[in-house]
Amino acid sequence: MKSKYWIAFSSIEQIDSNFIQKLFEHFGDIEVAFNASLDDLKKIDGLSVKKAENFLKHRDKVDIDRTFTEVETRGINFLTLESENYPKMLRQISNPPAVLYYKGKLFECNLDKTLAVVGSRRASMHGRDDLKKILSGLANTDICIVSGLASGIDTVAHTSAIENNIKTIGVIASGFDFTYPTSNKTLYQNIENGYGALVSEYYPTFEPMKFRFPQRNRIVSGLSYGTLVAEASLKSGALITANLTLEQGRELMCIPGLISNPNTEGIYKLLKNGATLVTESCDILNALGWEVQHCSCGEQLTLPMLTTEEEKIFTNLEIEEKGVDELLSLTGMKIDDLLINLTTMELKGIIKQCGGDRYAKV
């Protein structure tokens, strides 16, 4: 069984997918590639002797059957570059994962309509809300949201997909023995148990080390027809993914944000360089040339019946969140009346409290 040799290669931390692919392309057989001698490896153009010797040193410590059994006993599925159903978009990138491990229902996700969503781990409330609004416009469609399961924008992307009945794929920067960040444990479980799939190029025991996160980014964009960036500073992982998107010949899109927010500096740089501006879900569909059954473009939010006082409060929250003192001044209401109306509007789901005594419309 050839599969176990792909897994054996993947279990060696000191080599990467590029190395495995180079050997496979040269020998044309993964078993022959794994068992190659130093003299055989020296014949490969562009492969240094040092890398070849390093591989052989670690290869000789691999128990091929045991490494394969450890994947099987964990209930982890996998695809290799030889697999017919390996994702076609991912296969097209310059350095596709030699092995793609996955949990969940990968093939219930529509791999022909994949959208990557990336952004800051320290996303602002405005950035989070803007992304939620845009993804809600894709509710109940066959689009699949791809992201990296990090905190911040990634988490919002996955949770919004689930809330809007959209499949989602989480690409992790470690093996499946680890959950990072631990705060996303429930999200990991939800995705695996019916809302999509978790994928990784790393053998189950590989830890989430710092250098693996930028490596992971090429898979996020590589699986996708386009990437939507929601908040990114000038030096961020999201900008790395944006550049990978362009290198891979995919569509790059950005959600604009507050110009006073440092996390939008990268966004405006990308927009100035030609990225597509996205302010509603239809902008994504138009950029990618997709047609979906349930596009909510142009639809307006239907509000419950508002009293005169509630309308006055809601109007003053149209643009941005405000504190109780500001609302007192703007509405001319008494403090008791204002607080009662704010509570009522929260219960109706029209507004929300966003820290301290500040309120924003939903």
Q: Indicate the domain borders of the chain.
A: 3-73, 104-288, 308-361
Q: Comparing C-alpha atoms, which of 114, 200, 106, 193 is closest to residue 157? A: 114
3-73 CATH, one of 1.10.8, 1.20.1530, 1.10.3470, 1.10.150: 1.10.150
Q: What is the pLDDT of residues 12-27, one digit of tens each?
A: 999 999 999 999 999 9
Residue 154's pLDDT band (boundaries 50, 70, 90)?
very high
Antiparallel, parallel or unpaired: β 226-230 and 99-104: unpaired
Q: Report yes or no: 292 and 138 within 8 Å, Cβ to Cβ.
A: yes
Q: Which residue is associated with the tokens 């639809």?
A: 299
Q: Which residue is associated with the tokens 């990784």?
A: 200
Considering all CA atoms of the chain, what is the largest pairwise distance in Å, rounded to the nearest integer? 87
- For residue 95, give the DSSP letter: S
Q: Which CATH architecture has domain 308-361?
A: Orthogonal Bundle (1.10)
3-73 and 104-288 in the same fold: no
Q: Report yes or no: 236 and 242 within 8 Å, Cβ to Cβ.
A: no
Residue 152's pLDDT band (boundaries 50, 70, 90)?
very high
CATH number for the region 104-288 comes to 3.40.50.450
Residue 84's pLDDT band (boundaries 50, 70, 90)?
very high
Q: Report helix angle 212-222 to 237-247, nearest 10.
A: 40
Task: Give backbone dihedrals phi and psi of 200, rounded to 5 degrees, phi first.
Answer: -155, 150
Residue 350 has pLDDT above 90, yes or no: no
Token duo for residue 8: 């054996």
Residue 162 has pLDDT above 60, yes or no: yes
Token duo for residue 127: 């950035």
Residue 295's pLDDT band (boundaries 50, 70, 90)?
very low
Token duo for residue 277: 């501006």
State residue 289's pLDDT score: 94
Cis peptide before 181 (omega within 30 of 0): yes
Strands across the sheet containing 276-277: 77-80, 99-104, 196-200, 167-171, 144-147, 114-119, 226-230, 251-255, 276-277
Residue 271's pLDDT band (boundaries 50, 70, 90)?
very high
Residue 150 has pLDDT above 70, yes or no: yes
Q: Report yes or no: 354 and 321 within 8 Å, Cβ to Cβ.
A: yes
C-alpha dihedral sign at 29, 32, 36, 39: negative
Q: What is the pLDDT of residues 224-254, one digit of tens each?
A: 999 999 998 888 889 999 999 999 999 999 9
Q: What is the pLDDT of residues 205-228, one digit of tens each?
A: 999 999 999 999 999 999 999 999
C-alpha dihedral sign at 19, 192, 121, 148: positive
pLDDT (average), residues 80-108 = 96
